Structure 1
């Protein structure tokens, strides 16, 4: 199972944002906690990453900061301690950035109004700083350049290009982090039995799965499978299955015009009413209103 693909794909039910921020002189900015994922790319200048409980980390041009589950953090011209005293950056004015700015930052984020960050990303550190090897991975510089150009002015098709470019940035940043840390993936992926069950859940959510059937896929008894799945993934098998079905349903609502009954069948619900009831419990809103929003 491609963990990065699954983790990033789950954010497409949210709202995508991207902007550039420029500062000169003495500056600082705080990004409050939110439900979602966000990143910053230092396009020009240098500064400091400020997080709660950790010493400030120096940032230079090309460095990337990733908040995989929306933790609060700050950026500053000086090595201050803690982001609490920094101001939240103003909304962009739309004016062109002055070429003489000391510091230029490219920001991107997915904000989830409903639902939660994928479990695989919740297992990552609260804030990650990455110094990419752009000589080995020139595609990352290219994607950052395209996104920076895209946010410079609003043009037709911006909603489509922006989400695609933010997706690409997230994928490349996560790849860089894995490469630099030597991480092979998240805990559940390292267990072949649990990984096999997850592949079936993600690939065929429409099947009427039971814990016993998923345990058979993993080659384990029902009790042993439930215990190991819960320990590694952080939630019982059927709760994870329900969450994935509804997350997949939310993506289909946003990305397609398929009727509600068809979406319900694709994600494992016998009727649109059963799907709507489960969706409302998870997201606090009906499928129809979710799609309209």
Structure 2
């Protein structure tokens, strides 16, 4: 099971956003908790990653902060209490061109409906990565491209933004995995479970049942259910439903296919059955989910009146 690819497929359901934040003589910023996945890349200056419960972590240019499930955190030029930082606010505000001594790039997929899958929730709430840019010069190129893309008003950003976010997330997750070791990533080495996952992923339209999956995996039903749940964190049918609806959500976001077509593509006999299951999982109808705006921004400003961001 390629969990890096699973992460990217999952986060694409969210709304992509990006912003360059520049500051001078500021008090830093606090990023409230949100549902989704995001990162910061330090471009200029040094700072500290601030959390509520852990010691501050020093960061330098090139370092990456990654949150798999949108945990609250802050960035500040000196160690401090998280609660003392002004909150970052949302808004389509480009970075000011004035003098600044601290700059960082933000990228995010904001998940407005549904919840993070088990393999994302199993990761640490905040991860710091110091990429080897000499070995991975393309990561620096991707960072420059994303920084330029979100700082201007060039046509085509709706297409380039998610592509750049995906590529940066892939490389950062690979680096984190290499630095932490294989045990840090919630993979499964169980060949029976891996076979079942592959079958679900490759053919979600098939009318799978626990009996069919266990038979294909070559295990008794009870043993298969126990091993699958232990490895993945969810029972087989719960995982199958989540996978189908996640794929349906991506098709709603990325294609103009009819609801009936999407329903059949992900294994539901009718659009009404798909709509009911989708509403239970995401809290909104497929139509409302599809109509939601596809853009999102992170502002470099603080709350009104703080005046700390350039």
- Which band: TM-score by shorter chain? over 0.9
Cα distance, 1:110 vs structure 2:
0.5
Q: Which residue number in structure 2 is paired with residue 75 of structure 1?
A: 75
Q: Which residue number in structure 2 is paired with residue 39 of structure 1?
A: 39
Task: Tell me, in whole angstroms, the C-alpha distance in 2 between the residues paired with 1:131 and 1:141.
Answer: 12
**What is the TM-score of this pair, normalised by structure 2?**
0.90
Cα distance, 1:178 vs structure 2:
0.7
The CA RMSD over aligned residues, in Å, is: 1.5
Is the 2:118–2:232 contact (alpha carbons within 8 Å) kept by the matching residues of 1? yes
Cα distance, 1:184 vs structure 2:
6.1
Q: How does 1:264-275 map to 2 (within 5 A)?
A: 264-275=263-274
Is the 1:188–1:195 contact (alpha carbons within 8 Å) kept by the matching residues of 2? no
Q: Deviations over 1:47-95 (max 9, x none)?
A: 00111221111000000000011111111111124x2221112446325
Q: Which residue number in structure 1 is paired with residue 305 of structure 2?
A: none
Is the 1:3–1:189 contact (alpha carbons within 8 Å) kept by the matching residues of 2? no
SS at match of 2:182: coil
Cα distance, 1:119 vs structure 2:
1.9
Cα distance, 1:185 vs structure 2:
6.9
Q: Deviations over 1:148-200 (max 9, x none)?
A: 00011122111111111111111111011011112267434232221111111
Higher normalized contact order (CA 8 Å, seq sep 6+, divided by chain length)? 2
Q: Which segment drifts farther, 212-221 or 86-95?
A: 86-95
- Tell me: CA distance 1:232–1:29, structure 2 relative to 1, closer, same or farther (3 Å): same
Q: Which residue number in structure 1 is paired with residue 303 of structure 2?
A: none
Q: Which residue number in structure 2 is paired with residue 239 of structure 1?
A: 238
Is the 1:50–1:75 contact (alpha carbons within 8 Å) kept by the matching residues of 2? yes
- Tell me: CA distance 1:180–1:50, structure 2 relative to 1, closer, same or farther (3 Å): same
Task: Tell me, in whole angstroms, the C-alpha distance in 1 between the residues paired with 2:117 and 2:38.
Answer: 14
SS at match of 2:88: coil
Is the 1:188–1:194 contact (alpha carbons within 8 Å) kept by the matching residues of 2? no
Q: Which residue number in structure 2 is paired with residue 4 of structure 1?
A: 4
Number of equivalenced pairs: 291
Query: 5+ unaligned residues in a row in structure 2: which ranges?
Result: 293-310
Q: Which residue number in structure 2 is paired with residue 157 of structure 1?
A: 156
- Tell me: CA distance 1:61–1:92, structure 2 relative to 1, closer, same or farther (3 Å): farther
Q: How does 1:99-248 map to 2 (within 5 A)?
A: 100-183=99-182, 186-248=185-247
SS at match of 1:187: coil
User: Is residue 15 from structure 1 mapped to residue 12 from structure 2 by the alignment?
Assistant: no
Task: Tell me, in whole angstroms, the C-alpha distance in 1 between the residues paired with 2:73 and 2:122.
Answer: 18
Q: Which segment drifts farther, 139-148 or 251-260?
A: 251-260
SS at match of 2:105: strand
Cα distance, 1:46 vs structure 2:
0.3
Query: 5+ unaligned residues in a row in structure 1: which ranges?
Result: none
Q: Which residue number in structure 2 is paired with residue 253 of structure 1?
A: 252
